[in-house]
Amino acid sequence: MGAKIGVLALQGDVSEHLDAFKNAIRASGSDGAIHAVPVRRRQDIAGLDALAIPGGESTTISRLIDKNDLRTPLIGFDGGIFATCAGMVLMARTVDDPRVRPLGLMDFSVRRNAFGRQRESFEADVEITGLDGPFHAFFIRAPVADHAGPGVCVTGRIDEGIIALEAGRYMALSFHPELGNDPRLHIRFLKNCGLV
């Protein structure tokens, strides 16, 4: 059947991530060999090669992870994880908001809503290490990382802080790459996971 990528489907922009992965799979030439599926229950994680934790409301997603008994399977998941916006907050070791229980999967500290409220959301062309040109990024009540520990590679930064990090098969982004038509970061993630 090929590889399976799950998108954590508790809250947030789930359908956009499913579509973005389908587009990235087509663009990479692996159409039919990789499938993207929603993940709502702990048994949905079994058999996945990779998982996306989408943007949304990090306090809500954190609470729903515990309510749905997903914390232990997520922490123990040995596939790649692609995390955007709220997903980046959940991947962190420390968060500036006690209402969020991060998964602690990557060694960095993060500030939620680093740019302010919804009306301060913006778009910008940003430089990401390893991409052949700027990436058009959508920042929606976005976080930024303040510090990255050993083993975490900072791949994107703007004046306000760190916006892109990688560690092995983990990728954490403060923006929403799934909202544009540029598949490069999704493809890079698939390559980092050895899926294309």
Nearest by Cα to 67 from 86, 42, 89: 42
Alpha-helical regions (H) of the chain: 14-27, 58-67, 71-75, 86-91, 184-192
Catalytic site includes residue 176: yes
85 is catalytic: yes
Each residue's pLDDT tens digit, 82-97: 999 999 999 999 999 9
Superfamily, domain 3-192: Class I glutamine amidotransferase (GATase) domain (3.40.50.880)
Active-site position among 16, 17, 57, 85:
85
Query: What is the C-alpha separation between 131 and 187, in angstroms, rounded?
Result: 11
Residue tagged active-site, from 17, 178, 186, 193: 178
178 is catalytic: yes
pLDDT band at 8 (very low <50, low <70, confident <90, very high): very high
Beta bridge partners of 52: 7, 82
Q: Is the pLDDT of residue 1 over 60?
A: no
**Is the CA virtual torsion 140, 144, 102, 34 positive or negative?**
positive
CA distance 62 to 164: 21
For the segment 9-67, what is each residue's pLDDT rounded down to a tens digit?
998 888 898 889 888 888 887 766 788 899 999 999 988 999 999 988 899 999 999 99
Residue of 35, 136, 166, 176 marked catalytic = 176
